[in-house]
Structure 1
C-alpha cells in the first residue's frame, strides 16, 4: 500500500502570529515555523497502517524552500520519502488553488490512501480534505478518531459533537484525523540521522502542468483585504453589592443581551 501524508509548515501556534503589512498574507519569514500539529497525528496513523499492511509512506508538502525543515522533521518520524512542491508563483494562493496543486501532485504519486490533519492551525478552514477528494473523484472520510483497514476497505469513527458516526469507503480515499486518534511518536536519534538521507523530490508548477495564472493572487477566489491587531482586553465591570447587587447583575446581563 502507498500512503501519502499531507504536511503543512505553519507558524508556531504557541507564539505570536502576524500578517504581513504589504499583502495581508501570513508572515512566515519572522515566525517560528513548525509542522502543523494535527498533521503529526496523520503521520503517526499512516505509519501504524504501514506497520500492519506494509508498503510505503510518502510525505507531500506545498510551500516555500524553508518548508524543507518540516519535511525532514516529518521524515525523522519514519516515512520513506517526500515530495516538496515549491514555486514562488504559489504565494498568495487560496485554499481552492492549493487543493488543485495538491491534487495534481497526488495524481502523479498514485497512492492508495491520502491522510492529513483535520485542520491547520494557521487557516482552520477544514476544507482541504474535501476539496482534494472532489478533485480526485474519490471518497473523503473526514474527522476520524479511529481508522480500520480491511483489505481495500477503510472504516473510520467520525468524531462529532454528539459522539461519533461509523463511515466506510473503498480505497483510494482521503482520510483526515483529529488529535484523538493516536499519540505521535518522537523522532529517535537514529530516525533524525536517517531522515537526512531519505529522498525528497522537488517539483514546480510546470512539473505538475499547472499554469501560474491558476495560483497566487491572480488565481485566488478569496483574499484578505484588511487586518488589524486584536484590541487589548478591557477592564471588567465591578459591582459593589449594597443590597441591590443582584439587580445590577441582571441589568448588566440584560444590556449584553445575555438574559
Structure 2
C-alpha cells in the first residue's frame, strides 16, 4: 500500500525573478509538468516542487496579470490539493507612508479597476462577489508574525489588484477610492478569489519594490531580486511556523 504524499504549501509568484530565491531554497527541487503552453509552443507556467523548511512546497510561476494568475492557480490547486496558497513576490506601494522593502501581509483583497458603483456596488466590487475577499485572521496572524521574524518591516491591510500598472497619475485617485489600501499588483486578488472558490486558505506576503506616486525624499525603487529575496525569507519563515 502506497502512503499518500502530504499536501504541499502552494506558493504563487508572477515572474521568474520572484521564483528564483524560493526555488533555490527547495531541498530536492524538481520541475513538474504543467498543461500550459503559450502561442509559441513554449511552456508558460513553471512549477517546481521540493521541501521548504522541511515542508512539501510547490512554487508556481504564473505569468503576469489577472488571467494568468487565475488560470495557473486553478490548475495548481486542483492538481496539488494544497494545505494553503501563498501569494509572494513584489508589489507596488500605494499607501502614502509605505516604504520600499516592506512586506505587505494582506488581510483583505479587491479589484483596483472594477467599478459597478452606478448599480449600487462598492468600489472594487464585481457584481455577484463580495466587496472584499477577507483573509482568515488566524492565517494572516501567522503570516504577519512570520514576516516580522524574518527581519523586515511589515504592514498588514488591504491589497488591490488589476490589469494596469499604478503610475503616479493613477495613485491619488486610487487612494481616494480605497482609503487605507497598502499596495497594488496584478495577481493577488485573482489568486485569493480562486483559492476562496476552491475552499483553500490563502495568505499574501509580497514585498514593495516601487512606490505608486512617492513623496519627496522617499526612496521609490528597490531592485526586483532584492525584493524577491525579502519576500522569500518571509515565506520560508511562514512555512516553518505552520502546524505540522
TM-score strictly above 0.5: no
With a CA cutoff of 8 Å and minimum separation of 6, indicate the structure with the bigger relative contact order. 2
Larger Rg: 1
